[in-house]
Structure 1
Amino acid sequence: MLRHSLRVRLLLPVLALVLAVVVAATLVLATTEASRVRAEAATAIDRQTSALQSLFSVTRSIMLERVHNAMRLLRREGDAIGQASVGGQITVPGHDGPVNDLVLGKTPQGNRFELVDSVTATMDGTATLFSRTGDQFVRVSTNVKKDDGSRAIGTILDPNGPVIAQIRKDESFYGVVDILGNPYVTGYEPMYPAGGSSAIGIWYVGYKTDLESLDRVISQSRVLDSGFIALFDSKSKLRFHSKTGATTDPAIMAKIVATAPADWVITRQEVPDWGFTLVSAYPKSDVNHVILRQSLWIGAIGLLVCLLLLGLQSALIWSRVLKPVQHLTAVAEELSLGKWNHTIDEVNLKDEIGTLARAIARLSNSVRLAMDRLSKR
């Protein structure tokens, strides 16, 4: 029987030991690989989000400088026309009901665009004059455009936004706001009448943010195989997202971010002064797939090493143990049949097999001498 073979008995402990080492090494390396993959994913996320945060910061700084310059020009040209005051009520397109006109010097500004257009002709961007009517601030002169290309006259300042809170405290606001669904880097300053302390309107200048470079960077970003990076605005609207990797559908991305499934790792970072949120996400299965691939490679290499070791061990056992033992076994068999003229080369070995060979050689010699004495009688 094969299981009673000396070779099998000698190889089985070696095989068991090698397999145990391979399994243990696979488990240890798989655990180490899992930690490495997670660390690399976190590092990639930090690197990409840090680059985007820097890009946002630089963009805001550059654009705010333009906003301050444009605001100085608007205020200078407005002051040159005359002191601000409240005019009579007028009707402006896009607004239900009458609105207080805004007068600079003796020139009504409602439904007129010379001032705002002259400023943007020099500085680009957009400009607006808001008139206060009750608790609302209404655009009575503007070159901010709606999606259809018409002027956004008659629209109101967001009553729940960060700007109106500052204006009601008689403070200016400079920063990023959402205007008609688009992010603008803006400046708002309260407008006062002569000797007045309550704002009758607002001076506004702003620049629609050009985020094409951000779009390019984000669209080329991803995390592992199926992860993504996405940018959401203050209203949780998905602005930009990765366009490489396995997850590129905006609807799926928005659902993942909104529901935060347990099998995804999701990281959120606020973008200071923008009201945006950077989201990085990847499925845990990506890490598991990497671990599985690495484990298979490690296991395959381990098995290959195991086979090589077994082959080497088998060859050594055959040449150093089994072959001499088989020869000595054959000699012993023939000796038991009365054949004693054998050449036993194994007597030169210095191990236990050599000891056995010398004992058999002595036995063979003793049998031969005994047989010689018997034959002489």
Structure 2
Amino acid sequence: MTIASPFSFRHWTVGAKLASCASLLVGSLFIIFTLALTYSAGKQVDSLAVSEMNEQAAGVADMIEMVNTSLNTEVDSYTRLFTNFLPSDFALDSSGDAHIGSLAVPVLKAGGKALNLDTSIPDDFLQRTGAVSTIFVRAGNDFVRVTTSLKKQDGTRAMGTVLDPTSPAYGNVMAGKSFSGLATLFGKRYITKYQPVIDSAGQVIGILFVGVDITKQYGDIREKILSKHIGSDGHMFVLSSAAGPQLGSYLVHASDEGKKPDWPANVFEQMMRSNNGQVSYQNATGNEQFMVYTTIPSWHWMVVVSTDRDSLTAEVHKTRDMFLIIGMIALLAFVLLFLGLARRLVSRPLVDAVSLAERFANGDLLARSEHQRVDEIGSLMSALNGIGQGLEKIVGEVRQVSSQVLHDTENLAADSAQITRQIATQASSLEQTSASIEQLTSTVQNNAHNASQATLLVQKTATAVKDGASAVSNSVASMGAIKQSSQHISDITTLIETIAFQTNILALNAAVEAARAGEQGRGFAVVASEVRALAQRSSSAVKEIEALIADSLQKVEEGHQGAEKTQQKMRDILESIEGVETLMKDIDTASHEQSIGISQVNIAIMQIGKATQENATLVEHSQHTADALSNQGRHLSEVVSVFKISE
């Protein structure tokens, strides 16, 4: 199982969690807002920079166009003036060629005057206007300077030099058209005009050239161009758009004039497809190099404003970084302030609430929180106070109830123990009663058997008496036998008297035991009472029989005194014997009933014993339950005694 680090988020305080979440939210919003603002500002700055680059390129182009227009006007004026310096008719002298340097060229004449090597005209024109001039003569497909005020870098006149056939002017002149434009001649830049000289046959036989030195203007324009900056890395330069070997090379650049850019070739090809536009490529550092360009056709210039695109938003990013630093400082201050407030307003009250709850958990229900807050924390503390009050009330009631339960369960356990002892005593008594009943049952069965035998004897006696009554005449002879029979009857009556006495005693004992048995022995008591009554009657009857037998013996002895009197007595004896027979039958019936009743009493006592045993089991279980309840009540009292409550 993985154990959480104590520095994990779960172990932080609520204040720290709130501060961290709020700080994360505020910081995220701030970063998102800053990045969105940076992105928007970057887009705006980029758009403004592109607009500014276009404006600067267009401004330079407009400036050059203005300069070009002004200079072209001036050159046109000088060209007309130079033309006026010369006769109007031009022709080639076919009589022979003139040598200029190492070249043999035709002689060009104007108004019959040869112009070759005549420097007075261009010098005079230079002196008058300050503009250089040249007269070219056509020699085949070349145009050779035959007179000029234009000088080479070494200061000598550019006599005998040839017009570059790749220059824009060459094509125009060959087509019989004038050409005006910028040209670099022997290290100097001029605004030039090349005007073809056409003879009477309409053939181009030469060129009149006028050029205004724009070294100063060019220098100003160059400085103006090089002074342009966009952002921290942007700059302006000029590329040549003129056909020829110089196509695409730097014309104006801080350090690489005459060289070609080191960017991919397709970039310049893309730029050449339109007069103005935007293009970008990946420079050597891997950044995007962005360029805005516009073309000046009259000068064959392509004015380019170039910058590293990242430099356009460098200030924005710098400002963004500054805002982020300030924001982080502000966020840190916010975190500290929020954390302090959270600790004061949330964490500390929650710690108090936890402490209060722990005191409740430790049993101190008298603990309370003193506060005056009415917010959610205040409601929580009030609720905890309410919980403490409620628990104090409940524990107080539980303590009272547990004390009462303990007292009642102890009483119940004591009562159960007492009942157990009483049931044990009752069970012992029932066992003794059951034994007595068994003995009584045996005795009653014997009594019933003896009563049956006595009944038979009485019946026999009655038969004998009847026989004696019928044979009174033989009474004297039979007196001895009668005496013996009477003696036998006396013994039997003695036995019956003994049985009746024992039956009376047993019935008395049975009545006592039935009284002890209570409600369940009530029926048996009635039976015992009836048996006793029968025993008493049996005893009385026996006594009467004894008296009768005694009287019979006397009568036997006095039998000789009169048979008639004996016969009468025999009748009395017969009647008495019949009564005795009836009594013996009653005794026999009562003995049987007594036996049945005692059996029922025995069954009832057995049932009472079984019920007593079941009651003993139940009472024992109740005692165990009462003991368990007593122990639980005692434990409950010990548990609730831990809590501190007001008495």
Q: TM-score band, normalised by the shorter chain?
A: 0.7 to 0.9
State the match for 1:163 in structure 2: 169
State the Cα distance separating 1:130 from its structure 2 match.
0.9
Residue in 2 aligned with 1:262?
282
Distance 1:255 1:175, change over 3 A: closer
- CA contact 2:133–2:150 (8 Å) conserved in 1: yes
Structure-1 residue corresponding to 2:74: 66
Q: Does 1:76 align with 2:84?
A: yes
For 1:250, what is the secondary structure of its paired residue? coil
Q: 1:291: Cα distance to partner?
A: 5.8
State which of 209, 222, 227 in structure 1 corresponds to 2:234: 227
**Structure 2 length as normaliser, TM-score?**
0.51
More helix by share: 2
Letter in 1 for 2:143: F
The structure 2 residue matched to 1:275, chosen from 300, 304, 322, is 300
Name the CA distance, whole Å, in 2 between partners of 1:34 and 1:77.
Answer: 62
Residue 205 of structure 1 is aligned with which of 206, 210, 215? 210
Query: Which of 370, 373, 378 pairs up with 1:354?
Result: 378
> What SS class does the counterpart of residue 232 from structure 1 fall into?
strand
Change (3 A) 1:232 1:126: same
Q: CA deviation at 1:268?
A: 3.0
Range with greater deviation from structure 2 (299-308 or 198-207): 299-308
Q: Deviations over 1:66-93 (max 9, x none)?
A: 11221122111202xx632213311112
Q: Indicate the SS of the match to 2:103.
A: coil
Q: How does 1:325-344 map to 2 (within 5 A)?
A: 325-334=350-359, 336=362, 338=364, 340=366, 342=368, 344=370
Contact 1:167-1:189 at 8 Å conserved across structures: yes
What is the CA-CA distance between 1:138 and the residue it aligns to? 0.8
Cα deviation, 1:298-356, whole Å, max 9, x if unaligned, reads 4323323432332332233222222222233334444545373756124x4142x2222
Alignment equivalent of 2:57, drawn from 49, 65, 70: 49
Partners of 2:189 and 2:144 lie apart in 1 by 19
Q: What's the offset of the Cα at 1:227?
A: 2.6
**SS of the residue aligned with 1:34?**
helix
Relative distance call for 1:55 and 1:182 in structure 2 (3 A) is same
Distance 2:160 2:258 in 1: 37
In structure 2, what is the equivalent of residue 91 of structure 1? 99
Q: Number of aligned residue pairs: give it.
A: 364
Letter in 2 for 1:39: S
Please say which of residues 172-181 and 120-129 is displaced more in the overlay. Answer: 172-181
Indicate conservation of the 8 Å contact 1:176/1:183, yes or no. yes
Deviates more, 1:198-207 or 1:137-146: 198-207
Amino acid at match of 1:226: D
Alpha-carbon deviation of 1:110?
1.1
Distance 1:253 1:313, change over 3 A: farther
What is the SS of the residue equivalent to 1:211? helix
Distance 1:133 1:253 in 2: 34
Partner of 2:183: 177
Q: What is the CA–CA distance in structure 1 between the aligned matches of 2:311 and 2:344, rounded to whole Å?
A: 49
| CA shift in 2, pair 1:258/1:90, >3 Å | farther
Larger Rg: 1 or 2? 2
1:192-248 deviation digits (Å, cap 9, x = unpaired): 34x331122111111122312212211211222223211233324433235xxxxxx
Name the CA distance, whole Å, in 2 between partners of 1:376 and 1:198.
Answer: 136
Query: Greater CA deviation, 4-13 or 151-160?
Result: 4-13
Alpha-carbon deviations, 1:107-128, whole Å to 9, x = none?
A: 3221120111111211111111
In the alignment, is the contact (CA less than 8 A) between 2:180 and 2:192 conserved in 1? yes
In 2, the alpha carbon distance for the partners of 1:218 and 1:290 equals: 23
Q: Distance in 2 between matches of 1:103 and 1:360?
A: 125
1:143 CA displacement: 0.9
Structure 2: gaps (5+ residues): 1-5, 268-280, 284-288, 401-644
> 1:257, 1:266 within 8 Å by CA — same for their partners in 2?
no
CA apart distance, 1:30? 3.5
Structure-1 residue corresponding to 2:337: 312
Distance 1:339 1:9, change over 3 A: same
Higher relative contact order (CA 8 A, sep 6+): 1
Trace 1:279-294 onto structure 2 (pairs within 5 A): 279-287=304-312, 289-290=314-315, 292-294=317-319
Instruction: Give the AA of the match of 1:228.
Output: H
Q: Is the Cα contact below 8 Å between 1:68 and 1:187 reproduced in 2? A: yes
C-alpha distance 258-12 of structure 1, shift in aligned 2 (>3 A) = closer
Q: Greater share of strand residues, 1 or 2? A: 1
Moved more, 199-208 or 292-301: 292-301
Structure 1 residue corresponding to 2:346, chosen from 294, 301, 321? 321
Does residue 1:129 correspond to 2:135, yes or no?
Answer: yes
Q: Distance in 2 between matches of 1:376 and 1:295?
A: 66
Deviations for 1:124-154, whole angstroms, at most 9, x for unmatched residues? 1111111111111111000112122211111
1:214 aligns to 2:216 (yes or no): no
Distance of 1:22 and 1:222 partners within structure 2: 33
Q: Distance in 2 between matches of 1:59 and 1:241?
A: 20
**Distance (whole Å) between structure 1 residues aligned to residue 51 and residue 39 of structure 2:** 18
2:112 to 106, 115, 131: 106
Residues 340 and 367 in structure 1, CA contact (< 8 A), matched pair in contact too: no
Give unmatched runs, 5+ long, in structure 1.
243-248
- Measure, in 1, the Cα distance between the counterparts of 2:106 and 2:53: 51
Given that 2:291 and 2:305 are in contact with CA atoms closer than 8 Å, whether structure 1 keeps it comes out as yes
Which residue pairs with 1:345 in the alignment? 371
Change (3 A) 1:274 1:252: closer
Aligned residue among 160, 177, 180 for 1:154 = 160
